[in-house]
Amino acid sequence: QSALTQPASVSGSPGQSITISCTATSSDVGGYNFVSWYQHHPGKAPKLMIYDVSSRPSGVSDRFSGSKSGNTASLTISGLQAEDESDYYCSSLTRNNTLLFGGGTKLTVL
């Protein structure tokens, strides 16, 4: 069982905003300041969407944003589009310089 808990699934209609949460259930993640988010279409390479809680890599749409409150990090997707339908994973650096992934969230665009 992952020390990072994500909802198994979320859904939204085109144009809406959705938020995926990622809650740290272990103190192994320390200050929880180094959270990343990935989009993963099955059969393809994962894509980095957010790093260090809220930084966006170049080329990633500004419809994607990240935040954190306490031990819960969140990925928000605004203006939902059909192409956003995918699996999303959070990850966090641990005190032992290892990395944990959340269990993943399947986003369905209705």
Partner 1 sequence: EVQLVESGGGLVQPGGSLRLSCAASGFPVSSNYMNWVRQAPGKGLEWLSIIYTGGSTYYADSVKGRFTIARDSSKNTLYLQMNSLRAEDTAVYFCARDEPRAMGYAMDVWGQGTPVTVSS
Q: Which residues bind partner 1 (CB under 8 A)?
A: 2, 33-36, 38, 40, 44-48, 51-52, 55, 57, 87, 89, 91-93, 96-104
Nearest to 88 by CA among 6, 4, 1, 2: 6
The residue (of 8 and 14) whose beta carbon lies closer to partner 1 is: 8
Q: In the chain, what's the furthest Cα-to-Cα distance?
A: 41
Question: Minimum CB separation from partner 1 for residue 27, in Å?
Answer: 16
- Residue nearer to partner 1 on the CB measure, 41 or 63: 41
CA distance 62 to 66: 10
Q: Considering the complex, what minimum distance in angstroms separates the CB of residue 23 from partner 1?
A: 16
- Smallest distance from partner 1 to CB 109, Å: 20
Q: How far is the CB of 102 from partner 1 (least distance, A)?
A: 8
Cα(36)–Cα(48) distance, rounded to whole angstroms? 7
Pick 17 or 25: Cβ nearer partner 1: 25
C-beta separation of 93 from 99 below 8 A: yes
Eight-class DSSP state of 41? -
